Structure 1
Amino acid sequence: MTNSSNSAKFSHTIQVQAEDIDLLGHVNNVVYLRWVQEVATAHWHYAATENLKKLYLWVVLRHEIDYLRPAFLTDQIQGFTWVGEHQGAKFDRFVTLYRAGSEQLLASAKTTWCLLDATTLRPKRIDQDILAIL
């Protein structure tokens, strides 16, 4: 599922919270999906200018996620993200979630995002100004 390029990865750290833990004593699967979106959003907020953030919005069209290992309350999570192929208004984004300070891959995801014009809320072709920062 992951199509990585080490030089183009963005990193974001997440601390597991008590409310993330399910009845089995580990992080609930739905939380991993929230983290995937959190890492992707952090990347956009880091990379985009204030003007780009006013002009464009992103929506998710599809998530694929593989759960590999459980995370626990005491864990800190290191998320990495990078973008893949784009076509028109859509592109693929990859996210990997690791136990921070280790090489233990907890989950990997591929999501398809669509760029929207913030005013019209209509899909907007991904132009070079967006590609240059991602």
Structure 2
Amino acid sequence: MPQAPNWDRPAPFTMDFSVNSSHIDGIGHVNNAVYVDWCQQAGWSHSLALDLNLEDYRRLDAAMVIRRADYDYILSAYVGQECVMGTWLTASDGKLIMERQFQLQRKIDGKTLLRATWQLVSVRMSNGKPRRMPPEFIHRYGQAVVSTPQQF
């Protein structure tokens, strides 16, 4: 019977993933790059849930891009297993930088398989240079931050 998730932080945005044979590497477990892709999918889905999509990014000539990413691969997942990814926005300076954290759990036993942290920076899409977050980013992303702001 599946275990209830034991999240590191309250009220994550969650996304379910099913392990299939295309996720498996030569060692027989989910390839690390798949976990990275799942983080990308969950992070973008969270943005969409906050009502910020690619068209908004284009209209505002602004995007949040990964400046730094840290992944802690804890345990493996295997074909047929069900997983759930939780993600939170955990910090924002309200100007240029935000932090997003992830936690991936195996549903059957509630074990954490991965923890990850991204540092994101606001850039101008037209030239890739840093720019202040537009008010829409500050409002929509800011309302989702679950921790007190920190210094970057």
TM-score (norm 2): 0.74
Where does residue 119 of structure 2 map in the other structure?
112
Please give the per-residue CA displacement for 1:15-61, whole angstroms capped at 9, x wherever unaligned.
22322101111101121111111111110111124564442322111
Where does residue 9 of structure 2 map in the other structure?
5
Give the whole-Å Cα distance in 1 for the aligned partners of 2:105 and 2:8: 14
Q: CA deviation at 1:101?
A: 4.7
* Percent of residue pairs bearing the same amino acid type: 22
Where does residue 131 of structure 2 map in the other structure?
124
Where does residue 71 of structure 1 map in the other structure?
77
Q: Does 2:3 align with 1:17? A: no
Where does residue 29 of structure 2 map in the other structure?
26
Give the whole-Å Cα distance in 2 for the aligned partners of 1:93 and 1:28: 22
Instruction: Return the letter of the residue paired with 1:129.
Output: H
Q: Which has the higher strand share?
A: 1
Query: Which structure 2 segments of 5+ residues have no match?
Result: 1-6, 146-152
> What secondary structure sits across from 1:19 in the alignment?
helix
Map of 1:41-52 to 2, 5 A cutoff? 41-49=44-52, 52=56
Equivalences, count: 131
Instruction: Return the letter of the residue paired with 2:113.
Output: L
RMSD over aligned Cα atoms: 2.2
Query: Which structure 1 segments of 5+ residues have no match?
Result: none
Q: Does 2:76 align with 1:97? A: no
TM-score (norm 1): 0.83
Give the whole-Å Cα distance in 1 for the aligned partners of 2:144 and 2:90: 13
Give the whole-Å Cα distance in 1 for the aligned partners of 2:51 and 2:37: 21
Task: Return 82-91 or 35-44, whichever deviates more.
Answer: 82-91
The higher radius of gyration belongs to: 2
Contact 1:90–1:115 (8 Å) recurs in 2: yes
